[in-house]
Amino acid sequence: MNNRIPEDLIERAYQGKSTKEDGLLLLEVPPFELFRFADELRSLTAGDTVTYVVNRNINFTSRCVGTCGFCAFRTNDGKVLSIEEIMEKVREAEKAKAIEVCIQGGLLPDVGLDFYQEIAEAIKAEFPEMHIHAFSPMEVYHASRISGIKVSEALSKLKQSGLDTMPGTAAEILSDRVRKIICPSKLRTAEWIEVVTQAHAAGISTTATMMYGHVETPEERIEHILTIREIQKETGGITEFVPLPFMPYNNPVGEKMIREGRYATPGLDDLKIYAISRILLHGHVDNIQASWVKLGKKLSQFALHCGANDLGGTLMEESISRLAGAPNGESISVEELEWMIYGAGRVPKERTTLYKGVRELASRNTGRITGCGASE
Amino acid sequence: MYTKKPTTPEDVIERAYRGKCTKEDALLLLEGNPFELFELANDLRTSTVGDTVSYVVNRNIYITNKCVGNCGFCAYRTEKGYILSVEEILEKAGEARKAGAVEVCIQGGYIPEADIEFYLEIIESVKDEFPDLCIHALSPMEVNYAAGISGMSVEEALRRLKKSGLDSLTGTSAEILSDRVRKIICPGKISTQQWIDTITEAHKAGISTNSTIMYGHVETLEERLDHVFIIREIQKETGGFTELIPMAFLPYNNPIGEKMIASGKFSTTGLEDLQLIAISRVILHTYVKNIQATWVKLGKKLAQVALQCGANDLGGTLMEDQISTASGGSNGEYVSPAEFEWMIKGAGRTPMQRDTLYRKVEPVIPNRVDPLPSLGKTKIGSRD
């Protein structure tokens, strides 16, 4: 059982200076050595705390003019939730002690920025304390174009209306070669980077995501992570990195893959991505989230030993992954998240979107309603 | 500075390699760094079966979901259920054969109508029409119950079942081999000793069996380990076990599970699942060659990781699953050979189709073609 990670690679990782070659080499190292190293870095950065957020997903529409080939959620004529319907969901979330609403939806053909502003304003008017984590870089880009304003102006207006943070979704793989195949009409790599960078400049922090396990190469995955690192070096505005394995069901990209005998990423590949993300981003992005929706509860719990220090949100509802074949349910209780975290020998802590500590054990709060919306 | 200093004592490792792991060794390994345990289990697996990972193209056939049992962990049993006729069973077996299955796994609730003759008829009919199909059927519980109804000894029952064509008995109804536990979760079931006796007699009658452990409910860690050691003891005597299948308890839609969840205990964590697979490999080294990671209970992703932690088999394509699905299992009812091969190759290993007795088989249908894509959505014999 020899230590087969080269000394200089370890050294660079500690300094937050891992290279692309380091990343590629780490893919070949015996998996448990990789996981142990990632686990060590996680311990240095986040200690024994594992966080989660009590939140609610709200998808205001499945109607979308986009053409992403990996999507099973989009419909041609889905309903668009009214402000009142959105507010109903926010009220339910508030009753369930959620501190964040995560709001995203399909790209509607004619709506400009005011549509999004209205949502944020309505929520903040009734729930000034509720954190609004909303609108992907694609949605902001799309709304700016329709309204004929610059992205920076759009972001500033959204912030004024009450937007607190943005999900760093629509990233998929930050490679134009890949985007041309899986989502040709989406904003390009440079455009995504631009929107996120400007969001940070406007004081809007974001997460960063990577949807992997389709047409991209291992190199492209690593380059994506390093791109996130570069943004973080410049702005410091990324709160966490969330690798998301692609679900290949009910969408054209996935169906093609399956016909070719390629299926969802095997669990080992998922864990390696989490570990390598931790290593490459060490010193830059402190938090790596393991998504129980995509990985399943069992694997996401084990990912806590492979570099992850966060388990995401309770969600209360979830459709995007579910429709693409994710079998892991739409919500999870605080009690179960804490069970998983204790099982890893770690300490659960409820967090805010911005990763500021809130309270030690959310499950001890009386009067908590453990979520509404479909669960297993 | 990061260094990797092993913390497992040398003598523990040495005993593991010699197949002499003690209970204290096992407890120590479970308390230590999980990665060390996984590496040890992985090594033992390599030295035992090399790089091959097997799976079986099979089909589950549930005879009935009616049951006079009262197991508190069951979500499958129902009052107004179905009982398949021999014709219906033959039809399902035929579909399975067409889809390239080499085994049918026939089980169900135990009921007064199902005496030994009832089972003999099923087995004989299947063997008659499909002499090539391995019949992997029944459990010690069903055999004991049916033998009782037919007024014969378990030995006699097993002899007749074998004569009729039973190839292998399933090692289910083991749950946890501890009477303390059984009293809580399945008081109406055969006792630990009865299970051991039935299995031993099956082996002596030339019927091989697999072995199972359903864990993650009221048992203690020690009881889990004791169970695996019992399997080892039986194997020392008879050599009749083909594999061990650790099965994580699914706590939904059943009283035991609901009680657990109400007290803040949920399904076993992924770490725990992997640790049990690994420690089973260690304890059973040189005795039981095959440890199966069941995708139905663990999910495909975790089952594939388990291949690095001591498992060398991924179970069956199944084509149907009702028991786990009823308890909240959300991993589906069917995995195609092509997907198994994807998972296995992703672990850097070599896939091998096997039969019930762990012999290599040549695929009947080329793996690339998904034989019955509609089967994944079959809901035959539902609770209505």
Cα(B373)–Cα(A184) distance, integer angstroms = 30
Distance CA B129, CA B127 (A): 6
d(CA A73, CA B21): 51
Rounded alpha-carbon distances, angstroms, from residue B96 to A137, A220, B132, B209: 49, 42, 12, 21
ipTM: 0.91
Among A187, A192, A217, CA closest to A206: A192
Distance from CA of A56 to the nearest CA of B (A): 22
Banded pLDDT at B322 (limits 50, 70, 90): confident
Q: How is residue B151 annotated by DSSP?
A: T
Contact list in B for residue A363 (CB cut-off 8 A) is 264
Q: Two tokens at A330?
A: 């739409």
H or E segment at A348? Answer: strand A347-350
Q: Give yes or no for a contact between A143 and A177, defined as CB atoms under 8 angstroms apart.
A: no
CB contact under 8 A, A263 and B342: yes
pTM value?
0.93
Q: Please determine, for residue B1, whether its predicted confidence score (pLDDT) is greater than 80.
A: no
Cross-chain residue pair A267–B304, CB shorter than 8 Å: yes
Contact indicator for B249, B268 with CB cutoff of 8 Å: yes
- What pLDDT does B80 receive? 87
| Residue A245, helix vs strand vs coil | strand
In A, minimum Cα distance to B36 occurs at A32
**Interface membership of A343 toward B (CB under 8 Å):** yes
Residues of A in contact with B341 (CB under 8 A): 261
Contact between chains at B273 and A298 (C-beta distance less than 8 A): yes
Distance, CA of B343 to CA of A14 (rounded, Å): 33
Fold for domain A17-363? Answer: TIM Barrel (3.20.20)
Tell me how far the alpha carbon of residue B62 is from its chain's centroid.
15
Instruction: Give the CA radius of gyration of chain A.
Output: 20
The answer to whether the beta carbons of residues A98 and A314 sit under 8 Å apart is yes
Residue-level length of chain B? 384
Check: CB of residue B340 under 8 Å from CB of residue B150.
Answer: no
Q: Give which of A263, A300, A330, A361 to mutate to test B binding, by max B Cβ within 10 Å.
A: A263
How big is the CA angle at A274 (ends A136 and B52), to the nearest 5 degrees?
130
| pLDDT of amino acid A139 | 96
Q: How many CB atoms lie within 10 A of CB B149?
A: 17
Q: What residue spans define the domains of chain A?
A: 17-363
More confident of the two residues B377 and B95? B95
Averaged pLDDT for residues B187-192: 97
Q: Using CB atoms within 10 Å of the CB of residue B299, give its burial: 0 to 12 exposed, 13 to 18 middle, 19+ buried.
A: buried
Chain A residues with CB-CB distance to B6 below 8 A: 1
Domain positions in chain B are 26-371
Would you write out chain A's pLDDT as a tens digit for each of its 376 residues?
346 899 999 999 999 999 999 999 999 999 999 999 999 999 999 999 999 999 999 999 999 999 999 999 999 888 999 999 999 999 999 999 999 999 999 999 988 999 999 999 999 999 999 999 999 999 999 999 999 999 999 999 999 999 999 999 999 999 999 999 999 999 999 999 999 999 999 999 999 999 999 999 999 999 999 999 999 999 999 999 999 999 999 999 999 999 999 999 999 999 999 999 999 999 999 999 999 999 999 999 999 999 999 999 999 888 889 888 888 888 999 999 999 999 999 999 999 999 986 555 555 444 333 333 333 2
Residue A370's pLDDT is what?
Answer: 38
pLDDT attached to residue B372: 54
C-alpha B329/C-alpha A328 separation (Å) is 10
Residue B209, pLDDT above cutoff 90: yes
Query: How many Cβ atoms sit within 10 Å of the Cβ of residue B180?
Result: 12
CATH topology of domain B26-371: TIM Barrel (3.20.20)
Q: DSSP assignment of A183-229, as one string?
A: -TTSPPHHHHHHHHHHHHHTT-EEEEEEEESSS--HHHHHHHHHHHH
